[in-house]
Structure 1
């Protein structure tokens, strides 16, 4: 089988630290092109990994025949770039949140369907080893029904991560659409849906900008969720956890509790009502400081190689996005918001 010809659109931090190196280490991939409006960034990637550099998506797609594209742009460009790539008959892996609005996400899904290509969303939390183990435990049924939960994701903010630091697009609403909720909250709305094999029925939230100066995007959110299956819980997202960032989830079940990443970040702890305790050390979760492989790139490549639709599909990305959009509606209206 010929190598899968891949282009990466957007050469900022997520492309430099995850997408491009993970493609480069996959034996079934040939990196052929990169696009970034700051041409020097694309040129640096081309010099390091091989391929050609372009300053625009249109120029790249006009000059290169690619099998697949990673969309690593600012959020407001996710939809137009993904649609252009799909129209060029390329499979699309788009970073989260997949779009700024539900309408954009639906247009992306339709473009992929129309062109017979895959659309996958980079919700890497599903693939982190502790999260995979926790889902295996929940799905086994031995803890009974999940009754209540809390899931949270926080760090000091994008200024230490983005290649542009405090001047990053992350802090400009017209480009980011949303702040901590788009960066971190949507990961956890996707994860809790996946972990519980259930959909969110109702959302209430407090969302605001508490400490980041000079930005009009949210830096903190606390949400209350009611799942269709009856479980209730909280989801929090924060860009102001300046010390002791968090990516943990706790599930209280009929027969015990499951704690994910509450201690060192790489463990799953099960405490049963009979007094027994189990600890599973299954591998680390990726953090901004420690980039372990996300699993997303290899999964995307395998879908293409085997002609298998991705499980983290555009439809899944849209469902997770709708939870976040409902949370913003709750903040704006002061009401609980029901999801269809």
Structure 2
């Protein structure tokens, strides 16, 4: 058996036997540890550190392992008593009886990493984008819905106070349009010591600003309209090395509702604007705009609550997973529209997932 490299203090590992059954081990763990949930984090970049800190802060969760192949400055500051593994295979070999793992690796590895966990009956919190392609999203979604372990996409914006207040303000009205504008001087960089520029490396990321920020807009539109998009039409699209750095896309939804997403990684400003237009019962119109603040790590509580409900038998996570997969399909449709000179591309989001 391989020996994990701890981040600070060398502690002996705890073993638990699954006896070939991915659920039996978890049930035995509950008997020994009561309601404590055993978690792990894959990836110690910016997102992974937020997940590790989140788990470490919860009295009902034990952070049992961090998987990170790189031995660099990212390890500094992580909880010192947590064993560090350099691969998922080594984590599974250690048989630590993990209940849930946060997948915070670059998108190219999401599908394979989540499938490994699902096959072992381990629940997942998967960072966005869910996958690089709709084909991968289909494979992952089909496996998750057949298996016993939930896969929860990290739709953290949907649990943010600013989004909840915006939805509450239009609760009694009929939302018609969601307009999202994201401006950045450049793409965000990963942590030094690894592939810091993966967001602009299409084979790793899947795409550019649509895959990075557009998926947020798409799952929020799904939340607002309670429907998947019907079509995509791109009026502006500028690429560098296969990744879009500037775009203007209109997605249509049932009932003539619209999502308009404009994004730029070459702006002189750094802004994020989310605007909802809705029709009131009296026939009037209201328009509400929110500027999304920083602090996304604080919104993991709502995401983790979905996992806790899934442990109790709820299947609501499947809708979140379908929404995340449909966002990848819509992003691909926007790219096809751009490459066909702005032709409207129809989507069949229902065909993407089995349930």
The bucket for the TM-score relative to the shorter chain is: 0.7 to 0.9
1:43-192 equivalent positions in 2, closer than 5 A: 43-44=75-76, 48=79, 50-63=81-94, 64-141=96-173, 145-159=174-188, 161-164=189-192, 167-192=196-221
Which stretch shifts more, 238-247 or 2-11?
Answer: 238-247
Kindly provide the CA deviation profile for residues 41-73 of structure 1, in whole angstroms up to 9, marking residues without a partner as x: 67546x525321111111112213210011111
CA distance in 1, matches of 2:36, 2:267: 42
Shift of 1:314: 1.7
Q: Which has the larger radius of gyration?
A: 2
Which stretch shifts more, 97-106 or 34-43?
Answer: 34-43
CA distance in 2, matches of 1:42, 1:304: 32
TM-score, normalised on structure 2? 0.78
TM-score, normalised on structure 1? 0.82
CA contact (8 A) 1:36 1:42 kept: no
CA distance in 2, matches of 1:88, 1:42: 28
1:125-274 equivalent positions in 2, closer than 5 A: 125-141=157-173, 145-159=174-188, 161-164=189-192, 167-205=196-234, 206-209=236-239, 215-253=241-279, 254-261=283-290, 265=291
CA contact (8 A) 2:156 2:296 kept: no
CA distance in 2, matches of 1:67, 1:14: 19
The alignment covers a number of residue pairs equal to 306
SS of 1:27's partner is coil
CA RMSD for the aligned pairs? 2.4
CA distance in 1, matches of 2:311, 2:175: 36
SS of 2:298's partner is coil
Q: Report what 1:294 is aligned to.
A: 299
CA distance in 2, matches of 1:193, 1:327: 16
Shift of 1:155: 2.9
Q: Which runs of 5+ in 2 are unaligned?
A: 1-33, 349-355
CA distance in 1, matches of 2:170, 2:138: 31
SS of 1:224's partner is strand
CA contact (8 A) 2:159 2:303 kept: no
Q: 1:146 to 1:291 in 2, by over 3 A?
A: closer
* 1:337 maps to which of 335, 345, 348: 345
CA contact (8 A) 1:39 1:54 kept: no
Shift of 1:297: 4.4
SS of 1:313's partner is helix
CA distance in 2, matches of 1:107, 1:41: 35
Q: 1:30 to 1:201 in 2, by over 3 A?
A: same
CA distance in 2, matches of 1:221, 1:337: 16
Kindly provide the CA deviation profile for residues 87-130 of structure 1, in whole angstroms up to 9, marking residues without a partner as x: 12100111111011112112112222333110111111211112
CA distance in 2, matches of 1:114, 1:234: 34
